Structure 1
Amino acid sequence: MQVTTGKTVIGHSLADKLILYGGLPLVGVVLGFFLPRIADWAVGLRWVPWRRLLEVLATWDALWVGVGGMVAGLLGGLLLGAMALADTLKVTITNESVEFLKNDKTVTVPRNKVTTAFLDGKEIVLLDSTTRELAREKHDQLKGEAHKIPQAFRTHGYPWTDSGDPYEDRFRRWVEDEPELPPGANAVLKARAKGFDDGDKGKADLRELRDEVAKLGYTVKDKDKKQYWRSNNPR
């Protein structure tokens, strides 16, 4: 967590960048240099796939192969580091707003709309006065660092609660054609259920369709590939 004048940043710390942009390329360089030796060792393992390719790599024991492997490992490490950093949630908290950045997508929530903030497992959740979720984002902080998140929000005047979701008891597991939901909401949740097993495309659909459910007046959250819903109307 980084604290500077007027803002607090969670994620994308200097340590994260050193590990991702320093450690991964270094590992790539080492693996690239020893690639022929690694291949020669792996050929002796009966369960290893692509044996023919490994046998070819094991014969490459020239200097240029080591140099080429090091360059490829360096570039591969940098690419993996960039991808990992992009997939790490960055939260910027100020007295005016909260900004969530992940995979080049930004969600900004004005401070004056937030009436409740809390952690739901590893997800940071912000609610408005109607109990609608303004944001639900999974953080990437280690267990030893997660305790700093509440203090970061409190420092900037956000109404944080340590007791978790105040409306947890209102969530119900969704079943197809749920009688207490209108047909439109059931249709969106049915389409959304298909996204759990569709990889990255499915994750994008889950987020997009969650927003569609919110427009219909309901909040949905996921647990173990199951959907749970509640009405946004305060009681």
Structure 2
Amino acid sequence: MTRTSSSTVLALAPGWRVLGWLLCPLLGAALLWGLKLAAGWVSTLAWFPFQGPFRLVESIPEPAATLGALGLGAVAGLGLALLGELDLLSLDIGASGVELRRGGKSQRFDRGAVGAVFFDGGKLVLLGTGGDELARESSDLSKARVRAAFEDHGYPWHADGDPYREDYRLWVEGTPELSDRANALLRARKEALAKDQGDEVKELRRELVKAGVFVREEKKRQYWRTSPDRQR
């Protein structure tokens, strides 16, 4: 956590990030090296399916096989570390507004536009003054530090969670209170959740927000609400 006279910046500690960059290549190299060692044993098991790839690996001469396994594993680990780095959320919280950054993209909201801030499970949620959902982002940041930073800068922190939680209803196919477009988006999002397509799930949530529908999920079941203004 970094504090200045006007804002507080929250990000994963550099030590943890460095550890990730070191461990991921080592674990990747160890995993492929282990698979390379196992290939010789598996290729002797006549009953084991898909023998072709294992026999191919076993046929590679040493030390090329070991060096190749270590190198490919390390490269794969670096790729995983990069994906993890891009998925990290950082916050810049100040008296004038808050900025959420992830993967080179940012969202900024003026202080006057934020009506509630809270955690919903592992997700940080910002609501507008009219109850509209401004942001819902997964976060590995310390919840205590996030709360302290928002409260220090005068934001309305809701320790009990979503003030509109009771307004959410379980979505079922063809919900009559929703438009055909909203139902179609929720249907597509249900399929994306079932297939663990994270990026597609996020994109469909953004489209639902544009349609004035806010969604959360529990055990891959979707719950929805609209803004309080639309319910009047």
TM-score band, normalised by the shorter chain?
A: 0.7 to 0.9
Which residue number in structure 2 is paired with residue 73 of structure 1? 73
The answer to whether structure 1 residue 168 and structure 2 residue 165 are counterparts is: yes
How far did residue 207 of structure 1 move? 2.9
Distance 1:122 1:32, change over 3 A: closer
- Letter of the 1:90 partner, please give it: L
Q: 1:218, 1:229 within 8 Å by CA — same for their partners in 2?
A: yes
1:227 to 222, 227, 231: 222
- Letter of the 2:110 partner, please give it: P
Q: Matches of 2:17 and 2:48 in 1, distance apart?
A: 33
Distance 1:215 1:52, change over 3 A: closer
Q: Matches of 2:67 and 2:129 in 1, distance apart?
A: 60
Q: 1:32, 1:73 within 8 Å by CA — same for their partners in 2?
A: yes
How far did residue 172 of structure 1 move? 0.9
Q: Matches of 2:111 and 2:57 in 1, distance apart?
A: 57
Distance 1:52 1:217, change over 3 A: closer
Which residue number in structure 1 is paired with residue 17 of structure 2? 17
Which residue number in structure 1 is paired with residue 9 of structure 2? 8
TM-score scaled by length of structure 1: 0.79
Q: 1:185, 1:216 within 8 Å by CA — same for their partners in 2?
A: yes
Question: 3-state DSSP class of the match of 1:181?
Answer: coil
- Letter of the 2:212 partner, please give it: G
Which residue number in structure 2 is paired with residue 211 of structure 1? 206
Q: Matches of 1:177 and 1:32 in 2, distance apart?
A: 48
Question: 3-state DSSP class of the match of 1:66?
Answer: helix
Question: 3-state DSSP class of the match of 2:109?
Answer: strand
Distance 1:152 1:50, change over 3 A: farther
Q: 1:25, 1:78 within 8 Å by CA — same for their partners in 2?
A: yes
Which residue number in structure 2 is paired with residue 139 of structure 1? 139
Post-superposition Cα deviations, 1:193-222, rounded to whole Å, max 9, x if no partner, equal 34323543xx44433333333334332222
Which residue number in structure 1 is paired with residue 112 of structure 2? 112
How far did residue 175 of structure 1 move? 2.0
Which residue number in structure 2 is paired with residue 180 of structure 1? 177
Question: 3-state DSSP class of the match of 1:222?
Answer: strand
Q: Matches of 1:189 and 1:206 in 2, distance apart?
A: 10
How far did residue 164 of structure 1 move? 0.6
Q: Matches of 1:113 and 1:130 in 2, distance apart?
A: 9
- Letter of the 1:208 partner, please give it: E
Count of residues in correspondence between the two structures: 227
Distance 1:97 1:51, change over 3 A: farther
Question: 3-state DSSP class of the match of 1:115?
Answer: strand
- Letter of the 1:157 partner, please give it: G
How far did residue 227 of structure 1 move? 2.0
Question: Which runs of no fewer than 5 residues in structure 2 stay unpaired?
Answer: none
CA RMSD of aligned residues (A): 2.9
Post-superposition Cα deviations, 1:148-182, rounded to whole Å, max 9, x if no partner, equal 32123223332111111111111111222323334
The answer to whether structure 1 residue 197 and structure 2 residue 198 are counterparts is: no
Post-superposition Cα deviations, 1:109-167, rounded to whole Å, max 9, x if no partner, equal 333211110011111110111100100111135xxx43332123223332111111111
Percent sequence identity over aligned pairs: 32
Q: Matches of 1:34 and 1:125 in 2, distance apart?
A: 42
How far did residue 48 of structure 1 move? 6.1
Distance 1:130 1:34, change over 3 A: closer
TM-score scaled by length of structure 2: 0.80
Question: Which runs of no fewer than 5 residues in structure 1 stay unpaired?
Answer: none
Q: Structure 1 residues 218-227 or 159-168, which shifts more?
A: 218-227
Q: Matches of 1:71 and 1:3 in 2, distance apart?
A: 37
